[in-house]
Structure 1
Amino acid sequence: MATSVERSPESGEDAYSTIRGELKQYSFQTEPVPRLHHLDPRVEALMRAEKPVVITDTNLVKSAFHWDADYLSSNIGSAKQTVYSSYKNKFLYYDDKKLPQFPDLQLATKHEEMTFKEFTEKVKNHKKGDKIYYLQQALNDSVGKSLVLDFIKFNWSWATEQQKKYKWGALTSNLLLVGMDGVITPAHYDEQQNFFAQIGGFKRFLLFDPSMFECLYPYPVYHPHDRQSQVDFDNPDHERFPNFRNLYGQEAIVGPGDVLYLPIYWWHQVESVPNHGMTVSVNFWYKSGTEEKIVYPLKPQQKVAMMRNIEKMVTSAINNHEEVPHLLKTMVLGRYT
């Protein structure tokens, strides 16, 4: 079950091109996310503009490069871990608290609890047609001592320097993500700043500017799949989602040692590259900060936040999500169209 861990090449273009050539291509166009050394001044320019960038040689998670399946299984401890399962390789997540309002919703992804050893046994014995598993567990005081020591040795000075430089808020969590070969997290956006650090295996990120909101048709905020796109990238329904034809994005391949800066509100689909083994990653989620100055005209991120707040306010006031679409349509149709 050991996962071979290779360091990222100094020039990632060859590896990027080779892996990209192996991957499924979609109907929309993408351009590469810049891949830069952490001392390159272009990194700061991109981050200040809240644009994604793959940052190399940070040593952010160097102390975890030995976190393959065997090591984690032996050292993570016996506590139950958060694992998602599905008979498909796509993991469309949901908010448990919103499920009661949708009793007929059929969930393809299920939430399970199991030890890491149980998880790795299921992965090891997986046969075609079996469930596919994806572990997503917060790195907290439930993990074993060895992992804690590795965690303490992360390059926190670099991470904290970035946090202060860009005036981000508090670090809210570090999530350990261990995925089977070929798992996909469909397009969604998060409401936090994120450093996504790759430890083992390779992942592809398809990234879309918040201005692509109209092309990706997110579920309503009251829906359990809030913040996720309704469009199936493999089989887009252009009749229901005509603006999807106008989608344009960026693409990044991240390998061991790479850190992807994933800006707040940027859409992203995440894919564990097939035929490269299990993927191991850790993300660093930060609040966006309280010192951000609102500048007019509004940035795409601020427009998304405004739309979310309006939806939340209307839903809360009406207290009946079925009436929300009619109210919002009434505000616009015949008046702004």
Structure 2
Amino acid sequence: MSPLRSMFSDKELSVAVTPNGYADAVLGNNFVMPEERKMAFSHFLDIIDKKVEANGVFYIQKQNSNLTEEFPELLGDVDADIGWATEAFGKRPDAVNFWMGEEQAISSLHKDPYENLYYVISGSKTFTLIPPTDRPFIPYKNYQPAEYHEDSATGKWEVVTKHGLDQVPWIPVDPLNPDVERFPQYADANVVTVTVNAGEMLYLPSLWFHHVMQSHGCIAVNYWYDMDYDMKYCYYELLNSLTQTLEEL
């Protein structure tokens, strides 16, 4: 990590912090987002390297094309797009995101409306994948938006409800420990686990459900290409609507 430390020094960056490593995930009746903090990159690296103690799990995961917005210095070493993908999809990526964090940082099961090219630079990422055709086996519920907040005086974490926002539909099942008594339909899901190591790239098609774990200090970049709203999307929406209707019966 020393080249990154020397390159960015005390540059201020956006870091997601949670008490348990689960950002953008279900907790009770809430969909809880991380506390966003600005901090010097050198301080973030000290936390990752365990040189300083910190209360929480820290993860650079801001999905706003933060590679180009916050890490433009890397564009000389990291491509701004994937040539063959840009040609195949007929467009440039909507966002290019930089990821780096602790082993405890986990992305809960979800899907994205993007064609996703995920490249691991250092360490490894483990993806739990479920095809969109398995939507009938994936439970969804609506949750109240909330956000983690650490009390600076006591160091205790609390969940702060974000009033005035629409409820968020999210998947409550944890593929690492699925509660099939509560969600029996999940037992029929076709689950595939893939580990992507340094120097490897995963093509994750749009609408595929995925849950992500990582090795400690893993560094990765992903390219989001906007999906085409074609027959694949229409089929998924039909399947989704039929599933929701059956769930309401």
Specify the TM-score bucket, using the shorter chain as the normaliser: 0.7 to 0.9
Q: Which residue of 2 aligns with 1:162?
A: 85
Q: Which residue of 1 aligns with 2:38?
A: 113
Q: Which runs of 5+ in 2 are unaligned?
A: 144-165
- Whether contact under 8 Å (2:9, 2:42) holds in the other structure is no
Give the SS at the match of 2:118. Answer: strand
Q: Which residue of 2 aligns with 1:143?
A: 71
Q: CA deviation at 1:280?
A: 0.3
Establish whether residue 190 from structure 1 lines up as the match of residue 120 from structure 2: no
Percent of pairs with identical residues: 21
Measured in 2, the distance between the counterparts of 1:119 and 1:74 equals: 13
- Whether contact under 8 Å (1:79, 1:142) holds in the other structure is no
- Whether contact under 8 Å (2:46, 2:52) holds in the other structure is no
Can you list the C-alpha shifts for 1:125-173, whole angstroms capped at 9, x where unaligned?
378993111112411244364x23223xx385xx2233222x3443111
Residue of structure 2 aligned with 1:133, choices 49, 58, 83: 58
Residue of structure 1 aligned with 2:221, choices 263, 282, 307: 282
- Which of the pair is proportionally richer in strand? 2
Measured in 1, the distance between the counterparts of 2:52 and 2:173 equals: 29
Q: CA deviation at 1:218?
A: 2.8
Measured in 2, the distance between the counterparts of 1:126 and 1:240 equals: 42
Measured in 2, the distance between the counterparts of 1:280 and 1:77 equals: 17
Establish whether residue 257 from structure 1 lines up as the match of residue 199 from structure 2: yes
**Structure-2 change in CA distance of 1:148 and 1:243 (3 Å):** same
- Aligned counterparts, 1:43-62, within 5 A: none
Could you tell me which amino acid in structure 1 is paired with residue 76 of structure 2?
A: L
- Whether contact under 8 Å (1:85, 1:110) holds in the other structure is yes
Q: Which residue of 1 aligns with 2:174?
A: 232
Measured in 2, the distance between the counterparts of 1:260 and 1:330 equals: 34
**Structure-2 change in CA distance of 1:230 and 1:332 (3 Å):** closer
Q: Which residue of 2 aligns with 1:223?
A: 167
Measured in 1, the distance between the counterparts of 2:100 and 2:248 equals: 44
**Structure-2 change in CA distance of 1:205 and 1:265 (3 Å):** same
- Which of the pair is proportionally richer in helix? 1
Establish whether residue 302 from structure 1 lines up as the match of residue 230 from structure 2: no
Residue of structure 1 aligned with 2:208, choices 257, 266, 281: 266
- Whether contact under 8 Å (1:216, 1:230) holds in the other structure is no
Could you tell me which amino acid in structure 1 is paired with residue 67 of structure 2?
A: L
Q: Which residue of 2 aligns with 1:178?
A: 100
**Structure-2 change in CA distance of 1:280 and 1:233 (3 Å):** same
Give the SS at the match of 1:171. Answer: coil
Could you tell me which amino acid in structure 2 is paired with residue 133 of structure 1?
A: F
Q: Which residue of 1 aligns with 2:152?
A: none
Can you list the C-alpha shifts for 1:160-198, whole angstroms capped at 9, x where unaligned?
233222x34431111000021243211111100010001
Q: CA deviation at 1:219?
A: 3.7
Q: Which residue of 2 aligns with 1:32?
A: none
Measured in 2, the distance between the counterparts of 1:331 and 1:141 equals: 42
CA-based RMSD of the aligned residues comes to: 3.3
- Whether contact under 8 Å (2:23, 2:32) holds in the other structure is no
Give the SS at the match of 1:133. Answer: strand
**Structure-2 change in CA distance of 1:127 and 1:121 (3 Å):** closer
- Whether contact under 8 Å (2:57, 2:104) holds in the other structure is no
Q: Which residue of 2 aligns with 1:89?
A: 21
Q: CA deviation at 1:76?
A: 3.3
**Structure-2 change in CA distance of 1:142 and 1:178 (3 Å):** closer
- Whether contact under 8 Å (1:80, 1:114) holds in the other structure is yes
Measured in 2, the distance between the counterparts of 1:93 and 1:86 equals: 11
Can you list the C-alpha shifts for 1:78-129, whole angstroms capped at 9, x where unaligned?
44322112222333359xxxxxxxxx84737332222211211222237899
Could you tell me which amino acid in structure 1 is paired with residue 49 of structure 2?
A: K
**Structure-2 change in CA distance of 1:106 and 1:289 (3 Å):** closer
